[in-house]
Amino acid sequence: MSWLLATLRSSVGKKFVMGGTGLFLCFFLVVHLAGNLLLYAGPDAYNSYANKLHENVALLIVAEIGLFGAMLLHIYLAFVTASENRAARGATDYAMRQSKIPGRVIHVAGLAPDTTMYITGALIFGYIALHLCDFKFEVFADAAQLAADPYTKAAMVLSSTSRKVIYAIAAIVVGIHVSHGFASAFQSLGLNHPKYMPTIKTISKVFGVAVAIGFGSFVTWDGQRRCGCESPATMETAPTTMPSTAPAAATESAPAPTTPAETVPQS
């Protein structure tokens, strides 16, 4: 444990651990997206995946602790390195700052991914909290949602217009964050060879776009219709048509009825 603390005390060690946790979280995004894409395969495939995921409770707890630990460590190191960088620059108010990359200038007021990492990171943290409330802790769930299978539960959550908007924005924000973070992680790990970095940066941008499109696609998913969540509205119209025809037929065949109750025997 002492070696970890010693590593986190050094500037190089902090960047190394931050890069490692960043790549781990990117790996989790890929796995999580792959599992969620089974929603398009139908309820059987997705429910089977979700149930198997929760079968081994002990393993799931260990995985969640590792995931949350990596996320919190990543956030902590982001704040620490940002604070150290501000202290190193001093109180000088730059109109623009020169990047360490030759020939590149970053405007302070710019909205490029590499200049908004802390903003997008904070938004992602808020989204994760909401996402956990929706699917893990079920804070906003009603009785029907609590009793539903995983596929139907996802359809119920994503049937909300507010959730569609929030999840769509979150997908874009996550894509922006990882489009720079993936390549930046390699630099933090010291794997920034001039020969390979252009390719890594291209892969990073493609990865960000894929993540944004992948997670953003779920807001257009027609799971509510496919799982039959709309069927109660259809079933409500059925009783209104059947009783109206039976008494009519009975009254037409009965001679000179005075009231329906006199001519139609009660069963």
Residues 45-84: tens digit of each pLDDT: 999 999 999 999 999 999 999 999 999 999 999 999 888 8
Judge whether 58 lies within some domain. Answer: yes
Concatenating the DSSP letter of every residue in 59-128 gives: HHHHHHHHHHHHHHHHHHHHHHHHHHHHHHHTT---SEEE-SSTT-EEETT---GGGSHHHHHHHHHHHH
Judge whether 155 lies within some domain. Answer: yes
Of the CA atoms within 13 Å of residue 49, those in its CB half-sphere come to 18
Query: In the 8-state DSSP scheme, what is residue 196?
Result: T
Domain coverage including residue 17 = 10-87+110-229
**Relative orientation angle of helices 57-89 and 117-135, to the nearest 10 degrees:** 160
Judge whether 201 lies within some domain. Answer: yes
- Joined together, the tokens standing for residue 200 give 């890594």
Judge whether 248 lies within some domain. Answer: no
Judge whether 177 lies within some domain. Answer: yes
Report pLDDT for 224: 74
HEC string of 97-114 equals EECCCCCCEEECCCCCHH
Report pLDDT for 237: 40
pTM value is 0.79
Domain total of the chain: 1
Residues 94-114: tens digit of each pLDDT: 544 555 544 443 444 457 788
How many other CB atoms sit within 10 Å of the CB of residue 57?
8
> Domain containing 144 — which CATH number?
1.20.1300.10
Judge whether 127 lies within some domain. Answer: yes
Judge whether 169 lies within some domain. Answer: yes
pLDDT tens string, the chain, 267 residues long: the values are: 677 677 778 888 999 999 999 999 999 999 999 999 999 999 999 999 999 999 999 999 999 999 999 999 999 999 998 888 888 876 555 544 555 544 443 444 457 788 899 899 999 999 999 999 999 999 999 999 999 999 999 999 999 999 999 999 999 999 999 999 999 999 999 998 899 999 999 999 999 999 999 999 999 998 877 776 653 433 334 444 444 444 444 444 444 444 444 444 444
Judge whether 20 lies within some domain. Answer: yes
